[in-house]
């Protein structure tokens, strides 16, 4: 697991059934591109988050494939429909096999 990885998501606490909400998600990750050279002159191996997913009660909202051209501390903003009360599940997949997960509950207003 890469060091100092911390996810941060912003989801409204409440919504009415059928509402469209905006979700923002950020994770601290260096997103080493594999293009940079280190002090010793050798290429620093690629180490990135390669996939980000957001689902609601298990149903897909967005599934993103990331390449090394995504900036350090990857940020995403997108919309989601809230059909009912439940839970948003977020997952970030690291090149090293680690999966960083976080969840946010949403109530019916």
Residues that bind another protein (CB under 8 A): 4, 6, 8, 10, 20, 24, 26-28, 30, 33, 35, 55-56, 59-81, 83
* Residue nearer to another protein on the CB measure, 14 or 59: 59
Contacting residues for 35 by C-beta, under 8 A, at least 6 apart: 43, 68
Q: How far is the CB of 57 from another protein (least distance, A)?
A: 9
8-26 per-residue burial string, b: 16 or more CB within 10 A, e: under 16: ebebeeebeeeeebebebe
Round to whole Å and give the CA distance between 87 and 56.
Answer: 6
Q: How far is the CB of 40 from another protein (least distance, A)?
A: 20
Q: Which two tokens stand for residue 15?
A: 């919504």
* Residue nearer to another protein on the CB measure, 80 or 93: 80
* Residue nearer to another protein on the CB measure, 12 or 41: 12
Q: How far is the CB of 42 from another protein (least distance, A)?
A: 17
Tokens 């009912």 sit at which residue? 84
């Amino acid at each position: 697991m890469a060091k100092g990885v911390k996810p941060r998501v912003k989801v409204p606490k409440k919504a009415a059934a059928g509402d469209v909400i905006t979700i923002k998600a950020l994770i601290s990750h260096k997103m080493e591109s594999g293009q940079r050279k280190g002090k010793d002159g050798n290429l620093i191996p690629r180490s990135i988050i390669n996939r980000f997913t957001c689902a609601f009660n298990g149903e897909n909202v967005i599934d993103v494939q990331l390449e090394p051209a995504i900036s350090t501390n990857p940020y995403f903003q997108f919309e989601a429909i809230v059909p009912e009360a439940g839970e948003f599940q977020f997952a970030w997949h690291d090149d090293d096999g680690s999966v960083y997960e976080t969840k946010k509950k949403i109530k019916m207003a």
